Structure 1
Amino acid sequence: PKAIMFGEVQENGPIDLSVSVVEAWDADDADEGSNARLTYTIEKNVLQDKTGAPLFQIGARTGILRTALCCLDRETTPEYHIQVVASDGGGLKGTGTVIVALSDVNDNSPRLLKREWELEIPETEGYGPPTDDSLLELAVTDPDRVNYFFYRVVEGSGWGWDHFAVRAAGDSSSTGSQYVR
């Protein structure tokens, strides 16, 4: 096989999800028996921490690398390195590494960095024309790679709820901020 190959699979995918195809060739004449017939194996697999079960499997004749367990988590391990071997019928072999990257799925809930924010506002605040001044910055985090956070003041959430507004700041990353006015 090539020295380095790449595959990608979505995190939290099912068992038997195709990751990559390992391909090798043998210069022996295919008509000369088993010397040119290739068999694929995994020499160094990644094992699940809890059970010791292998995370990946390979088709011995096809070279198709697949997940052997479900629910790989990108936030825990974003990529894996698997050492694969292609052997011919004459006992010769070649090795390569498959780098398996996990693509992100929005599988984590955003978390506010604080459970509760307290703010004292002078009673004369807000009696003039509206300004762009912020009273409070709310911050949230989410380990998923791409996030779009949406904030709102919950209708009827307390006396004076309708005197506040939320304006956006930040980008589509793992953290976000909003300003309360």
Structure 2
Amino acid sequence: MHTNAELDEKAPLRVIVDDVNDNAPEFVGPLHFTVPEHCSAGTVVGVVSATDRDQIGTDHVKIKYTLVSGSDMFTIHPETGVITTTTNTLDRELKDNHVVTVKIQDMNGAPNGLFATSTATIALSDINDNPPAFMKSSYNVTVQEDESEKLLLRIPVQDKDLINTSNWMSKFVITKGNENGNFRIVTDPQTNEGLLYISKPLDYEKTNDVQLQITAQNVASLNGSSATWQSIPVNVNVEKVDAVRAGLGQQIGPSILTRDPPTRRALTSPHTPTTFSQLFSQSPGREQQTARSVSFGLLGIMTVLCPVVLLLLLFLVLAFFCLKKREKLQLYDSGDTGGIPLKANTEAPEDSTAWEY
């Protein structure tokens, strides 16, 4: 027969503490997500994670996820916390960041459940949905027929995509009018402008007008947009070079020597006189230009010789007046002799003491 005391010593006593829902759920991990702009509806943005310190397996830790704000463009799964898009109209160029308020509540969202709220930031990454846009609809530029490697035009463009990315950086192409390779176009890396150069001289006699078509593209391909690359016309007017400037006058004339500095220095050097053989040896070969160029060269030589001739004439005039002046002085020195100069007495005086007897 066992007593109550013996039973108390041998039987274990288990005390079960019933969990009370006294801990609100907490957010775990960052609440910053990124999704491409113009993504399709249903695209996963990210997952909101939460935890609850109450007893596992009870409704105290069963969390329900809801969006307090931002439900017009996003939605969240009530059990997993996965955020997805509800539209394909997210546009980074209009709004690059969206802030939504997330609510987590235990007891599976029951009214008596504890809850917490926080904001999640959803950033939109850029896609190339905006082609470069020209500032003007067309351009006109003038070039002389003998020019080359000269900047003719700067073509600015606007691009709404993210600056300094391949979606923003422009790439210009001459799509028409450059079959002979007279032009080239590059991109200014600082301003994103197109720089149009003349790379080979044009011939006015062959063409005095060139119609180019410039297309602006991006380094990256277009994506998520129905837009296409834009093109504009560029009219290049070719000017004929004046024959005097094209011939020897351009190289020799002191007043219009603006090109070929080595030739100018050689011809104007005080130690290198210019001869007529040099003038004719530098003829471009065309008869008309040669005749005009030689005449211009002679004009330049006459311009140099005229001052020398004038100085020589002035010297002769002064010499003539000096001779006249000298003759007048001799006439004045003749005294009252009627204009006959007196004969100088060059004989030595007699020594009276030497001839006395």
Q: What range describes the TM-score normalised by the shorter chain of this pair?
A: 0.7 to 0.9
Partners of 1:43 and 1:4 in 2: CA distance: 18
Q: Residue in 2 aligned with 1:116?
A: 138
% identical aligned pairs: 26
Alignment of 1:127-142 (within 5 A): 130-131=148-149, 133-142=150-159
Q: Residue in 2 aligned with 1:69?
A: 87
Q: Is the 1:12–1:72 contact (alpha carbons within 8 Å) kept by the matching residues of 2? A: yes
Higher strand share: 1
Q: Cα distance, 1:106 vs. partner? A: 0.8
SS in 1 for 2:123: strand
Partners of 2:132 and 2:180 in 1: CA distance: 23
State which of 32, 35, 39 in structure 2 corresponds to 1:9: 35
Q: Residue in 2 aligned with 1:35?
A: 60
State which of 113, 125, 129 in structure 2 corresponds to 1:91: 113
State which of 104, 123, 131 in structure 2 corresponds to 1:101: 123
Q: 1:110-154: CA deviations, max 9, x gaps?
A: 111111122233x3451xxx43x3111011121111223221222
Structure 1 unaligned blocks of 5 or more: 47-53
Partners of 1:3 and 1:156 in 2: CA distance: 59
Alpha carbons of structure 1 residues 88 and 98: separation in structure 2 relative to 1, 3 Å = same
Q: 1:74-133: CA deviations, max 9, x gaps?
A: 111101000101001142111111100011111112111111122233x3451xxx43x3
Partners of 1:59 and 1:137 in 2: CA distance: 53
What TM-score, normalized by structure 2, do the two folds share? 0.43
What amino acid maps onto 2:41 in structure 1?
Answer: I
Q: Residue in 2 aligned with 1:169?
A: 188
Q: Cα distance, 1:2 vs. partner? A: 5.0
> Structure with the greater relative contact order (CA < 8 A, sep ≥ 6): 1 or 2?
1
What amino acid maps onto 2:123 in structure 1?
Answer: A
Matched, 1:57 2:69: no
Q: 1:28-71: CA deviations, max 9, x gaps?
A: 1023x31110000001116xxxxxxx100000000001101123
Structure 1 moving runs of 4+ over 6 Å: none
Max radius of gyration: which structure?
Answer: 2
Higher helix share: 2
Q: Residue in 2 aligned with 1:49?
A: none
Matched, 1:22 2:48: yes
Structure 2 unaligned blocks of 5 or more: 1-26, 198-357
What TM-score, normalized by structure 1, do the two folds share? 0.81
Q: Cα distance, 1:170 vs. partner? A: 1.4
Partners of 1:156 and 1:135 in 2: CA distance: 15
CA-atom RMSD in angstroms? 2.2
Matched, 1:148 2:164: no
